[in-house]
Amino acid sequence: MTVIEVNGLSKRYGDRTVVDGVSFTVAEGEIFGILGENGAGKTTTVECISGLRTPDDGSISVLGLDTRTEREQLRRLIGVQLQESQLQDRLRVGEAMQLYASFYPDPADWRELIAAVGLTDQVRMPYAKLSGGQKQRLSIALALIGNPRVAILDELTTGLDPHARRETWKLIRQIRDRGVTVLLVTHFMDEAERLCDRLAVLDGGKIVALDTPAALIANVGDVDGYRANLEDAFLALTGSGRDN
């Protein structure tokens, strides 16, 4: 079953086209990655899919809902983790979880979720005192508090140490195993390769490739006598217009 359907999405800011005719579909229970360099249009794409921005062209449907006209219904069914979205300095972890849980008709158990992201010891800690990684993990927990059917996660593991990144990946797989569809934005190759079932590679606002990580790598073959990895595939796909 198709959960996300993006058709000819374009978004311009002034005369700069940031997203240019992007189309893809995501199936239920899939972990779908959007991979690209800074400024490739990843965040704008997922903000349009989340209903935070209105596309200039194209249509997007999530769980059968039009993201332009049915935003209210959509927001009960999706969980979104945004880049650089903070909380009130003096709001405590437990308070934030309970407050956000109260927004949804059928929220998850916030204590379970806070344990899953490893913040049980910080429940009484105010947001401002959390480390960067702890803030990131709280942000993930808040995106999942409404028991969403689709989780949209932008730069999921930025700022996390390697241990916390592995833990977060494990959490994302667990969520998927419960039937949640995950749309993931990343610029980390290893994360895209390990976690995603399929990847859309974005360059200059356009999708330049869309396949499983393994297939993207296989298309490149060997590079300088070594077996290619995802980074080689990425560089081969996005190299156009640059010197090297």
Asked if 52 interacts with another protein (CB under 8 A), we say yes
- The span of 59-67, 95-103, 188-196, 228-236 binding another protein (CB under 8 A) equals 95-103
Q: CB 78 → another protein: shortest distance, Å?
A: 8
Instruction: Determine the 3-state secondary structure of 64 from DSSP.
Output: coil
Q: How many chain residues touch another protein (CB under 8 A)?
A: 26
Verify binding: residue 86, another protein, rule CB under 8 A. yes
Quote the CA–CA distance of 160 and 57 in Å, as a whole number: 36
* Residue 104 β-bridge partners: none
CA 55 from centre of chain: 18
| Residue 72 binds another protein (CB under 8 A) | yes
Q: In angstroms, what is the minimal distance from the CB of 52 to another protein?
A: 6
Out of 5, 57, 66, 104, name the contact with another protein by CB under 8 A: 104
103 binds another protein, rule: CB under 8 A: yes
Q: Which is nearer to another protein, 84 or 243 (CB)?
A: 84
In whole angstroms, the minimum distance from the beta carbon of 225 to another protein comes to: 46
Q: In the complex, what is the shortest distance from the CB of residue 144 to another protein, in angstroms, rounded to a whole number? A: 12
Q: Which stretch binds another protein (CB under 8 A): 15-23, 55-63, 89-97, 183-191?
A: 89-97
Indicate whether 18 belongs to the interface with another protein (CB under 8 A): no
Range 117-176, binding another protein (CB under 8 A): 126, 142-143, 146
Give whichever of 35 and 143 is closer to another protein, judged by the CB atom.
143
Does 99 bind another protein (CB under 8 A)? Our answer is yes
- Residue 226: name the closest of 239, 234, 217, 237 by CA: 217
Binding to another protein by residue 55, rule CB under 8 A?
no
How many Å apart are CA 20 and CA 205, to the nearest integer?
Answer: 5
Q: 43, 44, 45, 50: which one contacts another protein (CB under 8 A)?
A: 50
Backbone angles phi, psi at 130, to 5 degrees: -75, 150
With 0-12 CB in 10 A as exposed, 13-18 as middle and 19+ as buried, what is 182?
Answer: buried
Are β-strands 16-27 and 2-13 bridged in parallel, bridged antiparallel, or unpaired?
antiparallel
Q: Are 35 and 200 in contact (CB under 8 A)?
A: yes
Q: Closer to another protein by CB, 77 or 236: give it.
A: 77
Number of helices (H), then strands (E), belonging to the chain: the values are: 9, 12
Q: What angle do CA 136, 32, 22 make, to 5 degrees?
A: 105
The half-sphere exposure of 211 on its side-chain side, counting CA atoms within 13 A, is 14
Closest to 32 in 3D by CA, of 198, 225, 185: 198
Q: Which residues bind another protein (CB under 8 A)?
A: 50, 52, 72, 75-76, 78-80, 82, 84-88, 90-91, 95, 99-100, 102-104, 126, 142-143, 146
